[in-house]
Structure 1
Amino acid sequence: MGEVLAWQCGLWQQLAGRAQHAHAYLLHGPRGIGKRMLAEQFAASLLCQNPTAAGACGRCKACLLLAAHTHPDYYVLEPEEVDKAIRVDQVRDLVGFVTQTAQLGGRKIVLLEPVEAMNLNAANALLKSLEEPSGETILLLVSHQPSRLLPTIKSRCVQQACPLPSHQQSLEWLASQLPELAAELREELLALAGGSPLLAAKLHGQSVLELRAQVVEGVKKLHKTQQSPSQLAESWNALPLGLLFDWFCEWAHLILRYQMTGDEAALGAADMNKVLHYLGQKASRENVMALQDWLLAQRHKVLGKANLNRVLLLEALLVQWASLPGAR
């Protein structure tokens, strides 16, 4: 049913070796380190009729149904659309599943990812299932940002931090997935993914290196007054907001770090090195800190699936960014 990732072996042995299981687990850690894969393998092992220390057998009726995506006692809850919230109606459907009897006579497993995508009403609707699960129901909750979860949800789960891969493990895994990609491009992808190899592979599928080049070129044109904030905002309308705010938050942080340390070697990726060096010399620290506060607040709204006017938000960002190199 799939192999356990190299950096997850210790945790897998701990989970699979339990004689008794909790009714809910919260697997948490940065995005892109394999939490979903671990949860799916754990679910397969819990549903398997002949599990081994290595996991599900892959041959029994339960495993075959799971492989065919037709297992009646397995329920996956996730946003209906990418970057959208999990709605309360979806959780109510889940509660209906939890109250049913297992059709194969064993366990029922729920996999919910990401938990923080639930809005407040959805999260409150889930609480009763966490408090009083029906029969042998086990909920596997996957979270990229556990700090955004209700304390009442976290307190009802066995919280398990998922291990991070080493840099070498990440590169080896990426090489196995993207052998056609040059080693330096895999390094670049991994850096853009914050060291998370599965996220790096996903970003490659989204042509993130090309998107990054487009954004960096736009920022440089903005500083050369070759494009206005409104023009650039319009041209970026189709770009992922999450990526954009991740990058600008990182750039603001790098400028501040350079202003405080004077370490030119710590200005991040080469594509923005000169721009950040220039802004670090020309912008006041107070203005950079104010922009960073604004960026973090807007990023929180983006992650919270707030209903935002994309073009106006990007234009506001670019106006503030363009105004950074002012009087010190």
Structure 2
Amino acid sequence: MADAYPWQDALWQQLAGRPRHAHAYLLHGPVGIGKRALADRLMARLLCQGPQGSEACGQCKACQLLAAGTHPDAFVLEPEEADKAIRVDQVRELVEFVVQTAQLGGRKVILLEPAEAMNLNASNALLKSLEEPSGDTVLLLISHQPSRLLPTIKSRCVQQACPLPSQAQSLAWLSAALPQANPGELSELLALAGGSPLLAVRLEGQGVRAQRAEVVEGVKKLLKQQAGASQLAEGWNGVPLNLLFDWFCDWAQLMLRYQLTRDESGLGLGDMRKVVQYLADKAPQHKVLAIQEWLLQQRQKVLSKANLNRVLLLEALLVRWASLPGPG
């Protein structure tokens, strides 16, 4: 049975209680808030032959087949490799599935995640199925970055924003998921995950706090001229590129905010607070704006899985970062 999260209760009652379902839903929101679990739960409810209230019964033939991964009327489409695109050939298989008759005599349900992983040809191949689904078919699209989807894809779906849990809900859930962590560590993890508790657990498993400490120490050495850009770029090989750009984008935003407000309570996590304040005091605002714009452009390339030379990209970032203090 799919996980149920307390911050999804109201949305779940709304979805499960619908007498008639749309032919396509776009479930969107940040990574790590439980969108996939919600979609799995809805798929089970839609395919169940004897639902018990708002939930699938878990006992009928349909539920048993779904649990075994062999339900003939369920189709899950994901990238064949992590962080790769969903190809047009994969979507063509989905289209063939859509036109088939449901083998158990009920609905067919398709789950596609993440929708933004479809390349342009794949997106175009999906459009007709979204516009004119065959029979009683429901498509569940999951997106972490709906801004990257074609407008024609979004317009053919019921767009449903998935709720982000409150900090109290997240910390309560995290304390159960990571009982070995103390409250301070949980708060730090949640901040590093942008408030997404499931992502916080995943990042903890990847050793994010050690990675963050390594990067922060490197940035401090860079500004003290105790380490060079090339040395650091090569040394950070184990830190995911998307995390690095998330952190540097955040620091640039915090600098700009402090320059505008002089509010010391808005300097971010304690590990970089003094550095952010120092750079905000020493860097002209036009340089902060310029590096923020550059960071956002490069981050978009990282998120879109562009073919980038990692070391050269990080060297360029660190050279720009080191040049922030002083006029220019």
Q: Which residue of 2 aligns with 1:35?
A: 35
Q: Which residue of 2 aligns with 1:252?
A: 252
Q: Which residue of 2 aligns with 1:72?
A: 72
Alpha-carbon deviation of 1:81?
A: 2.1
Alpha-carbon deviation of 1:159?
A: 1.0
- Contact 1:4/1:12, CA 8 A, preserved across alignment: no
TM-score by length of structure 1 reads 0.97
- Specify the SS of the correspondent of 1:278: helix
153-162 vs 96-105, which deviates more?
Answer: 96-105
Q: Which residue of 1 aligns with 2:175?
A: 175
Matches within 5 A, 1:31-180: 31-180=31-180
Alpha-carbon distance in structure 2 between the residues aligned to 1:205 and 1:237: 18
Alpha-carbon distance in structure 1 between the residues aligned to 2:67 and 2:295: 43
Alpha-carbon deviation of 1:244?
A: 0.7
Q: Which residue of 2 aligns with 1:301?
A: 301
Alignment-mate amino acid for residue 22 of structure 2: A
Q: Which residue of 2 aligns with 1:229?
A: 229
Q: Equivalent pairs: percent with the same residue?
A: 71
Alpha-carbon distance in structure 2 between the residues aligned to 1:14 and 1:65: 26
- Contact 1:24/1:130, CA 8 A, preserved across alignment: yes
Matches within 5 A, 1:198-213: 198-213=198-213
- Specify the SS of the correspondent of 2:194: coil
- Contact 2:4/2:38, CA 8 A, preserved across alignment: yes
Q: Which residue of 2 aligns with 1:284?
A: 284
Alpha-carbon distance in structure 2 between the residues aligned to 1:73 and 1:90: 17
Alignment-mate amino acid for residue 167 of structure 1: Q
- Contact 1:49/1:62, CA 8 A, preserved across alignment: yes
- Contact 1:7/1:163, CA 8 A, preserved across alignment: yes
Alpha-carbon deviation of 1:256?
A: 0.5
Alpha-carbon deviation of 1:313?
A: 0.8
- Specify the SS of the correspondent of 1:159: strand
Alpha-carbon distance in structure 1 between the residues aligned to 2:242 and 2:259: 26
TM-score by length of structure 2 reads 0.97
Alignment-mate amino acid for residue 169 of structure 2: Q
Alpha-carbon distance in structure 2 between the residues aligned to 1:221 and 1:103: 63
Alpha-carbon deviation of 1:3?
A: 4.5
Unaligned runs of 5+ in 1: none
Alignment-mate amino acid for residue 268 of structure 1: G
Alpha-carbon distance in structure 1 between the residues aligned to 2:83 and 2:200: 18
Alpha-carbon distance in structure 2 between the residues aligned to 1:233 and 1:93: 42
- Contact 2:2/2:38, CA 8 A, preserved across alignment: no
88-97 vs 170-179, which deviates more?
Answer: 88-97
Q: Which residue of 2 aligns with 1:12?
A: 12
Q: Which residue of 2 aligns with 1:194?
A: 194
Alpha-carbon distance in structure 1 between the residues aligned to 2:265 and 2:134: 56
- Specify the SS of the correspondent of 1:211: helix
Alpha-carbon distance in structure 2 between the residues aligned to 1:84 and 1:62: 31
Alignment-mate amino acid for residue 249 of structure 2: C
Alpha-carbon distance in structure 2 between the residues aligned to 1:101 and 1:214: 55
Alignment-mate amino acid for residue 99 of structure 1: V
- Specify the SS of the correspondent of 1:26: strand
- Contact 1:127/1:153, CA 8 A, preserved across alignment: yes
Alpha-carbon distance in structure 2 between the residues aligned to 1:271 and 1:177: 25
